[in-house]
A and B are shown apart, each in its own frame.
Chain A
């Protein structure tokens, strides 16, 4: 509340768009927590290893769908047919 009040009273501001904010102490604690999480969890070895697996899986799926769109589910092909007018790939070629 104090921070919000300060934001409102600050000259040149007064917009409620950025009214909700941390206090100085809260901002410091939040940054410390975030630094800790990124340093020891998100950028850690096992999580990075999992990220690498995810990249390979998604790259493979993307390549497979791009090379053969018939691998896509039926409702996706129907949606493409309706939305952007591509030929329904399950149908016989005209």
Chain B
């Protein structure tokens, strides 16, 4: 292992750092000591080799501009490596006491022109990418090791995003995944750990290392290649015959690194991106009746559009187009870029942009969604999420891309027309989203009825709406809010005769 001041074995090829094993077999930048401390073979976090032969784990390899970008920015290509990197670079030094690798630059100099610390928000992802549940390193990993062991599992089985690989069937034909969910089967059969190597951390990793060290537990490892062909094969096996598949779908026209990830991602990726992720207080705050920005009680129910019915998380693992977004995932995008102001904010931004920057082409959330997945998100070597045209088309919907010259750099070929409804899945989701939007808008508007802001159904036909606070006739019944969990007989019935003064008694009075 290189000493604190000596360059590592990769220094000749321009790689700094000894924390990760290089994919190149000829590059021995990880000593056996380190390899032993990192677990079984294939479980190390790999990094990109500058020679281009192996490319994986682009995040692990710092580039010269990292100090300007807080450690993670747009990665550079092989040419940029050789052109911009000086010949002699101090390698990562190792603290003898803690044995933790330190970057060669001081922690306080990551920001250009600054002497202060480097807060996480300096990163391009706004400091969100470091969260384990946000990052999705799976596509950046060339090979992920599946670990199957026939011994007791750790106490808590982690939910691992890398566990989407096929699991071999047992002799009785039942999938082991199903067996894991079945308590009785779990008792009969030893659990299996299926994990991507990047996620094999903490307790599961410690258990596996201990099992391997003692040798009493047989540990079986297998490697699956997460390539486009792999996902296409899964789609052939699992999707319905009518489903749209990634096979044959086109992707961005720009070149992609030959890292085994294929040309473009099919629609099977969930998007846990900074741009689509959580709605800041809105959901909780609005449910609690608080203003999303000020934390004060809302004077009235939130704007129906601001609720973003499609934003309600439907976070099951599945095709992106089947989700609502947040995620981000949507066939029918909502103007999240202007949340919590919704369509109103979108219209205002469009007007302001057209007035101040006419060349920008205004603002429309559909185009902004495509821009996010195409350019703004930085998850791979190149900007964008590497989605197929079909998925991005779901964001764009029926809007013509050519109408926005500012988006001419988008992933779609020039001249693409999008008048149609897209794939069958996108059409189904579009209509489902339309129905859900109207329904939730209606639900959001029901409290208005309790505030006398809306007329009763009996008067809807001929009277104008929203005319004031007293448009409801005194005799019209109030609409009960669906969230009112009181029983109907417990709700105030101010519009009905009192029990002690029924119609008969009133008539006789």
Contacts and interface: CB of A to CB of B under 8 A. Distances in A.
Indicate, yes or no, whether A interacts with B: yes
Contacts of B306: 50, 54
Interface residue SS majority, chain B: loop
A44 B454 contact: yes
Which of A41, A43, A78, A82 has the most C-beta atoms of chain B within 10 angstroms of its own C-beta? A41
A73 to B, nearest CB: 6
A44 B420 contact: no
Contact of A90 (B112, B300, B304): B112
Contacts of A62: 348-349, 352
B284 interface: no
Interface string B436-464: 00110110110010010111000010000
Given A43-B465, A44-B454, A59 B442 contact: no
Given A74-B122, A75-B123, A16 B424 contact: yes
Interface in A52-94: 54-55, 57-59, 62, 66, 73-75, 78-79, 82-83, 88, 90-92
B105 interface: no
Interface of A: 15-22, 30, 33-34, 36-37, 39-51, 54-55, 57-59, 62, 66, 73-75, 78-79, 82-83, 88, 90-92
A30 B434 contact: yes
A44 B466 contact: yes
Given A18-B427, A39-B465, A44-B454, A54 B348 contact: yes
A20 B466 contact: no
A75 B347 CA distance: 26
Which of B448, B460, B466 has the most C-beta atoms of chain A within 10 angstroms of its own C-beta? B466
A46 B448 contact: yes
Nearest to A17: B420
A39 B441 CA distance: 11
13 contacts: A18-B421, A18-B427, A37-B445, A40-B454, A40-B460, A42-B305, A42-B445, A43-B465, A44-B445, A44-B448, A44-B454, A75-B122, A83-B375
A73 B427 contact: no
B111 A45 contact: no
A45 B468 contact: yes
B252 interface: no
Contacts of A82: 69, 73-74, 124
B342 to A, nearest CB: 7
Interface string B462-475: 00011110000000
B315 interface: no
A33 B113 contact: no
A48 B466 contact: yes
A38 to B, nearest CB: 9
B466 A45 contact: yes
B441 A41 contact: yes
A47 B430 CA distance: 25
Given A40-B454, A44-B454, A75-B124, A34 B438 contact: yes
Given A43-B466, A75-B123, A78-B124, A58 B445 contact: no
B207 interface: no
Contacts of B439: 33
B465 A74 contact: no
Contact of B453 (A17, A19, A46, A79): A46
A78 B378 CA distance: 13
B338 interface: yes
A19 B421 CA distance: 8
Nearest to A48: B466
Contacts of A37: 304, 438, 441-442, 445
A18 B445 contact: no
A69 to B, nearest CB: 13
A61 B421 CA distance: 35
Nearest to B468: A45
A1 to B, nearest CB: 12
B458 to A, nearest CB: 13
A55 B466 CA distance: 20
A59 B353 CA distance: 11
A10 to B, nearest CB: 15
A76 to B, nearest CB: 8
A74 to B, nearest CB: 5
